[in-house]
Structure 1
Amino acid sequence: MVRKSLRHRLHVQLEPAAWGYGLSPVNWVLCILILLSFIGAILETEPSISDGQEQLIRVLEVAFSSVFMLEYLLRVWVCVEDGRYRHPLAGRLRYLVTPAALIDLVAVLPLLVGVVGTESLMLRFVRLLRIARLAQFGKLSRSVHYLLAAIVSRRYELSISVVVAAMMIVLASIMLYWVEKDVQPEAFGSIPRAMWWAIITFTTVGYGDVYPVTQLGRLFAALSALASVAMVAMPTGIMAAAFSDAMQRGRHELDDPVKLPGSYLDKNSQKQRSRR
């Protein structure tokens, strides 16, 4: 009985769905450790920081991986508390092949294969995905859900802006190809080559590696630069409206979260009513 109670308490702490709203204290600690591990992997690529600190880096990586290994084993142990994996053996095997469990497994692969340091860099970067896995319930998931819903509701406007942007880029590429192809064949000798300049110009990046040198080419480039302002403003305005809608839905949730259809609290309340 004590063992079952301990397993249940660990399940509530480790599984976001079992906790219900937000992140449990254990998952908060895990998120912090994931971020620290991710930051350490980034700093490790800077020679001025990592040179001479190889032993410390190895110790820290082993420590992080050991914590994630312990967490992984505990999740496998407590997964039978979930009704989907109730069977002690078959349920655990079924849990091991779920996307969430596979992401957790990647987090401990450096320790399992005995590889640390730069060789395991990409595996350690994957750990950042675990934050999204841990925060799949609670405020974050609902906010992301509302934002995606708002964007989907404006998919037609976004599609039109994408088509208009593509047409403007192609038109600018054709104009610069026509004007500059004889003067700068390396940069504007074909429409695909000119399209590199057009994309850089319309996205306002402006590398400056290629640019028109003829008077007519500069005129077309100036018109393209002015048109790029409108091109960037269109999707920006649409996205701003989508963010506004997401914020409004978030405020309604805070006012009455139980009545919000599809929310976790709404589903939880329905389960409680059905049990009664």
Structure 2
Amino acid sequence: MSSLRARAYRNLEPTAWPHRGLSPLNKALAALIVVAVFFAVIETEPTIVERRFAFLTAIEAVFTLVFLAEYLVRIWIAPEKPRYAGRFGRLRYMVSVPALIDLLAILPGLFVFIGSEAFVVRLFRLLRILRLARLGRFSRAIDAITTAVNSRRYELLMSLTIAGILLLVSSTLLYLIEGTVQPDRFGSIPRAMWWSIATLTTVGYGDVFPVTPLGRILAGITAITGIGLIAMPTGILAAAFSDAIQMQRKAEEEGQARSEAE
């Protein structure tokens, strides 16, 4: 049993797979997750559900059983990982973030058999899209993104703070300038914030805009400022991603060199 558990652990835990890339089992699971999310999305279209209800229900039942079996196996092999070793290792694994995401992605499968269109039931069933988040355990790209964001968290927080200040200042100024002219759109700072958000993010819906000359001048300044506001976190994250990818490649080369030496 110990040998079987160790073998299952090597096939299910990406970091334990001795070869490059994912194990065939994890590749199959990743593909199955993508297919399951695809079916969860198309099931929101009533015309498709009406015509293929039995087929979609059967497919979802298969997905639920497969992912439930995987979840139970992962609980069984959890002690193979040092952090989950010991008497209560499996319990610690069950309350970990990856395990909770797995559980939340499985439970909505039981609601497929409930025909109710109640909002709560529909919302809970759509939690099946959380299965897509499970791909994070198979992807080193997710690790790179997490490392990049964490390494630049202070710079990103500073960018967010500057964005908040600009949002408040531009909304306040537009409220003062346009508030009496367009009270329904700029009659308060919260109302003016909708315009500021659309302008600073360079979206520019065009549903709300200033009409006074001073307001238009301020709008132009805000729009130009928004370009720099978007570029700031973009540059920070680009540099962080580059550093994280280089670190991953260096670790892979060192690991391969150790394997060849052994």
* 1:167 alignment counterpart: 165
* 1:177 alignment counterpart: 175
* 1:212 alignment counterpart: 210
Q: Does 1:72 align with 2:83?
A: no
Paired AA for residue 26 in structure 2: N
CA distance in 1, matches of 2:95, 2:79: 14
* 2:103 alignment counterpart: 105
Q: For 1:76-103, what per-residue CA distance to the aligned partner results, in whole angstroms no more than 9, with x for missing partners?
A: 343454453465xx55455444443333
5+ residue gaps, structure 2, are 116-120
| Contact 1:85/1:95 (<8 A) preserved | no
5+ residue gaps, structure 1, are 260-264
* 2:32 alignment counterpart: 33
1:241 to 239, 242, 247: 239
Q: Report 1 or 2 for greater relative contact order, CA contacts < 8 Å, sequence distance ≥ 6.
A: 1
Equivalent positions of 1:110-189 (< 5 A) are: 110-112=108-110, 115=113, 119=122, 120-135=124-139, 139-140=140-141, 142-152=143-153, 155-156=154-155, 158-189=156-187
| Contact 1:181/1:188 (<8 A) preserved | yes
CA distance in 1, matches of 2:181, 2:4: 77
Q: 1:110 to 1:238 in 2, by over 3 A?
A: closer
Paired AA for residue 125 in structure 1: I
Give the TM-score normalised by structure 2: 0.80
Q: 1:115 to 1:180 in 2, by over 3 A?
A: same
Q: For 1:91-118, what per-residue CA distance to the aligned partner results, in whole angstroms no more than 9, with x for missing partners?
A: 5455444443333333332455674677
Share of identical aligned residues, percent?
43
| Contact 2:178/2:186 (<8 A) preserved | yes
Paired AA for residue 232 in structure 2: M
> What secondary structure sits across from 1:70 in the alignment?
helix
* 1:230 alignment counterpart: 228
Q: 1:116 to 1:36 in 2, by over 3 A?
A: farther
Paired AA for residue 147 in structure 1: A
CA distance in 1, matches of 2:225, 2:112: 55
Q: Which moved more, 1:191-200 or 1:230-239?
A: 230-239
Paired AA for residue 209 in structure 2: Y
| Contact 1:11/1:18 (<8 A) preserved | yes
> RMSD across aligned C-alpha pairs, in angstroms?
3.2
Paired AA for residue 144 in structure 1: I
| Contact 1:37/1:64 (<8 A) preserved | yes
Aligned residues between the structures: 253
